Amino acid sequence: MEKWVEFEKECVNFLNSQYGDKSTFKRVGGSDSTAPDINVYDKKNKLKFSIEAKMSSAQSGQFVLFPKDGKFEYSTGNAQYPPNEPTKEIIKYMDGNFETYCKPGTKGAELTIPSSYLYKWVKEYYKTVKKEEYFITNLNSAAL
């Protein structure tokens, strides 16, 4: 069984053990990244909201940029996610360090940007694209 599958199951078990008297938590997404990971239902089995289960080592989304004339251009392939303020902050940072990021090669290049930029981007991405407002994660990869 994949680690992320086991993690999602552990999350559902944890949530049901801690909050099962108020709500029911069900794993629903599977490998479909466009679907929620965990749905939360009230006692009448009505969907209340969803939760994204994300292992701390997992990628939390992406957008594509292309180097052009000393700056980065936002790809039209990012149609599901138009640029917003956090995206613009990241691009501005990368533009200011163009030579570092313009030729990442097959290994890529580590984005050494203040984490506050990335936190804002992740929050906005999940709110806008995934329609998720809550996460559950394992910050130190320890079992729940």
Return the ∠ at Cα 44 (arms to 40 and 49), rounded to 5°: 20
3-state secondary structure of 68: strand
User: What are the sequence ranges of the domains in the chain?
Assistant: 3-60+130-138, 65-126
pLDDT tens across the length of the chain (144 residues): 889 899 999 999 999 999 999 999 999 978 887 788 999 999 999 999 999 998 887 777 788 899 999 999 999 888 778 888 999 999 999 999 999 999 888 887 888 888 898 889 888 888 887 888 898 988 654 444
- Pairing relation of β-strands 38-41 and 47-55? antiparallel
Closest CA to 78 of 117, 110, 121, 120: 121
What are the helix (H) ranges across 20-139? 85-96, 98-101, 115-128
What are the helix (H) ranges across the chain? 3-19, 85-96, 98-101, 115-128
Report whether 91 contacts 83 (CB < 8 A). yes
Which tokens hold the place of 88?
């613009």
